[in-house]
Structure 1
Amino acid sequence: MVYELIGKRRKIGKNLHELAIGDSYQETRKVEDRDILLYLGLTDDANPLYIQHDYASQTPYKRPLVPPTMLIGIASSMISMHLPGPGCHILEQHLKYPNPLYHYSEIDIELEIIQINEEDSTIMIQVKGKNGDGTVLDGTFLVSPASKLESLTAQSLRNFN
């Protein structure tokens, strides 16, 4: 199904019956200063551990960290745009951050559907984020996939009955 958003045609993500356990999506991102500054500006977060190199150098981490909620945003965007895609809604999340992610790091994030619940029309997506230092994001998202929409043509034809 295709929908229009601000003059651009977009495809709706997969609905529950188009998904299978084991479906996955992977993406690699490099976190740059501009990304962190945009995030911190939007959230009004001024934690010196995220932005001040002098402060961070005196902590056990030694370097500024990427805010964990920024990792949630990256994973959430991957869910919204790719698996299951546009039209889905995240209902719940359970996440751990076993290792810190530092500025200028590359992170490989993989999503995988591990459970499909037809009763409540939800899927469970496992998320794993890794870089050279190990796992930096690990957990699950409970997601309501896009609803199966009826075509506008079918709706219009009913108006003539």
Structure 2
Amino acid sequence: MSKFESIQIGDFAEIVHTITDADIRKFVDLTGDDNKLHIDKEYASKTSFKKPVAHGMLGASFISTIIGTKIPGDGALWFSQSLEFLMPVRVGDTLTIRGEVTGKNTRENVIELKTEIYNQHKQKVTNGSAKVKVVEHEVEKAEEETTEDIGLKNALIIGASGGIGEAICKKLAKEGYNIGIHYNSNKSKADGLAESLSSETVKAQVIQGDLLTEKGVEHLVEQATRKLGHIDIVINASTVKFSNIKFDKLDWQDIDDHININIKANFLLLKHIVPQMKERKRGKIIFLTTQYTESTPPAELIHYITAKNALNGFAKALAIELGPFNVQVNLVSPGMTETELISDVPEKARLVAASKAPLRRLAKPTDVANVVAFLASSGSDYMTGETIRVNGGQTML
């Protein structure tokens, strides 16, 4: 199905942006429009507006974001736009920019959009309509026409800036996978990793996203899908730093933090990704759990172990539902691993943990990455709902 054919009347997309002083300065630098009504508070105070008003085209420019990245997205050729500016917009206003498909011209591959912008008070500040030609990508057409299975090659690694996440990115890139390098706040680490992994044969793309909000995850998946083309494999290596807490000192928030990153984040993420896996009838989902859920755990880790046990159940239940769609869901269960996450663990405790393993050492991030790479490969196609332990033999079942 072509992109134009997939677009239906009634389809819509929204983005939200808060206008800042920096936005106005950048707009002035770009356009040269330094009208005092927009930038001079004293001048504006002597007008009927009383305060500076943002350039009308500043807010309207985000219609381009809707068209270029969402509807229709890549291949959009925007050739017509009508606009009415209904109310002033000022610094601090939060705008919701919305585009909705209202018509299709099949002969010309053109869609018509109703474009609207609302402020935080749900007042319409800009109204208009657009016409956009959908330019099909020839490579995409060629992909539609071939029946050859080229394998799963696009992997989204959540928490890629962490120790295990970074090792997974490096291993999969070495194996020839295209990599989506997710980060929440450590952009410099993600950028450096992408630069080191990109090559003529490997696409490494940096993708930012807040895992704990619907909007953040939606934005994350949209970026990943646009930059990679589609998502074949999802690997969640994200976590939150934790320390030992006695039960009488434990707050519900401590447990909730871990539940959020292990369950809520995965739930939101997969709500957006699983549909495309079902449509393609293939996919792999890989979670990281812990050996502490399968043996006598250390004391004072109720918050961590509770969340990981919940993740184990989530993964197995999901594996049952997605199996008929040829989507495998598996877990990797590392022992204590040499990453920044254990930087606060006393050296003595690390030595004790290593001594309990028949292999007499802690896991390295590369040990975990090697197993993840296997689960991402075709070699694991008949495995789902399984847990592979990477703990040096500390737990043998």
Instruction: Give the TM-score taking structure 1 as reference length.
Output: 0.82
Aligned residue in 2 for 1:136: 125
Which has the larger Rg?
A: 2
CA distance in 2, matches of 1:17, 1:57: 51
Indicate the residue corresponding to 2:57 in structure 1.
69
Tell me the SS of whatever aligns to 1:151: helix
The residue number in structure 2 matching 1:112 is 100
User: Residue 15 of structure 1: CA displacement?
Assistant: 2.2
AA partner of residue 147 (structure 1): E
* Cα contact 1:113–1:124 (8 A) shared by 2: yes
Give distance in 2, aligned partners of 1:113 and 1:121. 13
Kindly report the root-mean-square deviation, in angstroms, between the aligned alpha carbons of the 2 structures. 2.0
1:1-161 paired onto structure 2 within 5 Å: 15-131=3-119, 132=121, 134-149=123-138, 150-151=141-142
Higher relative contact order (CA 8 A, sep 6+): 1
Q: How much identity, in percent, do the aligned residues show?
A: 24
Question: Aligned partner of 1:66: which letter?
Answer: A
Q: Which is strand-richer, 1 or 2?
A: 1
Q: What is the CA deviation profile of residues 100-154 of structure 1, one whole-angstrom value per residue up to 9, with x for unaligned ones?
A: 1111110111110000111211000111111127211101110012314233797
Query: Which structure's residues are more often helix, by fraction?
Result: 2
TM-score w.r.t. the length of structure 2 is 0.34
Measure, in 1, the Cα distance between the counterparts of 2:142 and 2:41: 54
How far apart, in 2, do the equivalents of 1:72 and 1:87 lie? Answer: 20
Give the conservation status (yes or no) of the 8 Å contact 1:97–1:135.
no
Assess, with a 3 A threshold, how the Cα gap between structure 1 residues 47 and 103 changes in structure 2: closer, same or farther: same
Displaced runs of 4+ in structure 1, greater than 4 A?
Answer: 152-155
Q: Separation in 2 of the partners of 1:28 and 1:154? A: 37
Give 1:28's aligned amino acid.
V
For residue 47 of structure 1, what is the amino acid of its counterpart? N
Q: How many residues align?
A: 142
Structure 1 residues without counterparts, runs of 5 or longer: 1-13, 156-161
